[in-house]
Amino acid sequence: MTIFLGIDIGGSGIKGAPVDLTTGTLIADRLRIPTPAKSTPENVAAVVKTIIDHFAPVAGDANVGIAIPGPVVHGTITFMANLHQDWVGINADALFTEILGRNATLVNDADAAGLAEVKFGAANDHPGLVLVTTLGTGIGSAIVYRGVLIPNTELGHLEIDGHDAETRAASSVKDREGLSYKKWSERLQRYYSHLEMLFSPDLFVVGGGVSSDWDKFGPLLDLRTPMVPAQLRNKAGIIGAALAAQDALLHPEAH
């Protein structure tokens, strides 16, 4: 059993669990604590430490991976939309390693989901180019080629027909505008056709909470590229964060 801790930080909640990376399974029920109203790095780190301490009996001094809703460039957060602006410009890997007293590796949350789906989910051991998107408040993206992540893509912010793509096609827009699945799928068709033209992927994996309603919109899309719903649901961020921690241990020069 190869155990790493995975933490998934969101705008409303922070979730974590120890992960067995030989099987991609949580070895204990995940713990969720609300994200502090003032979501500074220090305040969030205190919550993460509480979660890690909770799992100490089973996880020991395992390294920790942390999924976060922002780009992470060699440990540094370059911009932040859903947490406090104090995150911008800090080396979060170094800060969390110091506060937690163990090696910590941060990774973009959509990248974490992509890593998890390729390793243990809908794109398990896929030999080609996989493009994972998460449809939610915005549109997250991850590109994985033969198991290797191309980090920090922000394909939800592609400009299509004069609009930032996620402002037209995210699932939050569907809810806010009261769109039927048929009407929403027309916007998704335009978005995924554009991604298909740009990247020629071998597989699309569609995640986010709305993926549980895949049967209501997936069959309405007409693409050359095979497209499947994500499998790991709300565990993907935790598992992918643990995978990022493992990769940092094996390949420290890349982080």
For each of the domains in the chain, give its residue range(s) and CATH number, in order of start: 3-111+235-254 (3.30.420.40), 125-230 (3.30.420.40)
Q: What pLDDT, on the 0 to 100 scale, is given for residue 31?
A: 97
Query: Whole-angstrom Cα distance, residue 14 to residue 47?
Result: 8
pLDDT for the residue 223: 98
For residues 122-156, one letter each, b for 16 or more C-beta atoms within 10 angstroms of the residue's C-beta and e for the rest, the string is bbeebeebbbbbbbbbbbbbbbbbeeebebbbbbb
Q: Is the pLDDT of residue 184 over 90?
A: yes
Least trusted range by pLDDT, from 25-29, 57-61, 140-144, 176-180: 57-61
Query: What is residue 219's three-state secondary structure?
Result: helix
pTM beyond 0.75: yes
pLDDT of residue 42: 96
- 235 pLDDT band, cuts 50/70/90, is very high
The pLDDT score that the predictor gives to residue 11 is 86
pLDDT of residue 242: 97
- 233/110: higher pLDDT: 110
pLDDT of residue 230 exceeding 80:
yes
What is the mean pLDDT of the segment spanning 187-215?
96
- Summarize the confidence of residues 223-232 as an average pLDDT: 97
Q: Which two tokens stand for residue 179?
A: 């769109």
Across 40-56, average pLDDT: 96
Report the percentage of the chain scoring pLDDT > 90: 87
Give which of 64, 62, 55 is closest to 33, Cα–Cα.
55
Start-to-end Cα distance in the chain: 24
Strands (E), 29-167: 31-34, 64-68, 72-73, 76-77, 104-108, 129-135, 139-145, 148-150, 159-160, 163-164
**Separation of alpha carbons 99 and 9, rounded Å:** 16
Per-residue pLDDT of 104-145, as tens digits, reads 999 999 999 999 999 999 999 899 999 999 998 889 999 999
Report, as an integer, the average pLDDT of 155-171: 96
Q: Where are the beta strands (DSSP E) in 161-241?
A: 163-164, 203-207, 227-229
Within 13 Å, how many C-alpha atoms sit on residue 178's CB side?
0
**36-45 pLDDT, tens digit each:** 999 999 999 9
Does pLDDT of 233 surpass 90? no
Give CA–CA dist 249/103, Å, rounded.
9
Is pLDDT at 32 greater than 90 in this prediction? yes
